[in-house]
Amino acid sequence: MILDTLVFDIETQNFFTDPEVGRDNYDALKISVAAVYSYIEDRYYCFEENEMDKLAELFSDARRIVGFSMNRYDIPVLNNYFQRISGAPKLWEMERVDLLEEIEMASGQRISLDRLAAANLGRNKTHHGSEAITLYRDGKMEELKEYCINDVKLTKELYDLYRKQNFLLMPSKKTGEIVKVMFAKPAAATTPALL
């Protein structure tokens, strides 16, 4: 059986700056939507908070998960949900590729998904992260899902470039000049089905 590679992103109903949450209190964050791309199925999915069991099922068939800043945000939040679902995978034990961490290790700098996508793909995010909470609170769920899926599309295309060419372009913080960030080790392909 070929195990899947999933690219994912979550949006939350609230944030650390909310009075009822507090700094780094991941337990108090609630998911609004989670979007996922499956390489095996070549398909995008989007789940709402009451569908986390379906998301866990999809993750159970994955060997590798890919995201942008997922180790700092998405995984700690999602892990709180998965711990309450029988048979859900343990996210910290899965093979993970966090593109922001890869860039930080290679360049010593952080960058936003928006700026990275603009430099490498010629496109930007459709909204900013803080707007996702507003969309949720305004009941604009379809717009929120589209936004989250778009972030996954950008992350997936950046991951494909990372694997194919072993570098990404990044604007220098000092000069603004576009520089090539080479990665220390080649991003190993697992099977032809997974690129």
Number of domains in the chain: 1
pLDDT of residue 192: 39
Q: Does the residue 190 lie in any domain?
A: no
Q: Does the residue 64 lie in any domain?
A: yes
Tell the residue number behind the tokens 């195990």, with chain if given.
3
**Buried b vs exposed e over 36-69: b needs ≥16 C-beta within 10 Å?**
bbbbeeeebbbbbbeebeebbebbeebebbbbbb
pLDDT interval class at 83 (50, 70, 90): very high
Q: Does the residue 192 lie in any domain?
A: no
CATH of the domain at 65: 3.30.420.10
CB-based contact 88:56 (threshold 8 Å)? yes
CB-based contact 158:166 (threshold 8 Å)? no
CA angle in degrees (0–180, nearest 5) for 62-66-68: 155
First to last CA, the chain: 16
Query: Which range of residues forms the domain containing residue 121?
Result: 4-185
Q: Does the residue 194 lie in any domain?
A: no
In sequence order, what are the beta bridge partners of 7? 37, 66
Q: Tokens in use for 12? A: 């939350």
pLDDT tens digits for range 103-147: 999 999 999 999 999 999 999 998 887 899 999 999 999 999 999
Give this prediction's pTM.
0.91
Q: Does the residue 193 lie in any domain?
A: no
Give the span between the Cα atoms of 53 and 63, in whole angstroms.
18
Pairing of strands 31-38, 62-67: unpaired
Residue 4: closest CA among 38, 45, 54: 38
Pairing of strands 43-48, 62-67: unpaired
pLDDT tens digits for range 141-182: 999 999 999 999 999 999 999 999 999 999 988 888 999 999
pLDDT interval class at 1 (50, 70, 90): low
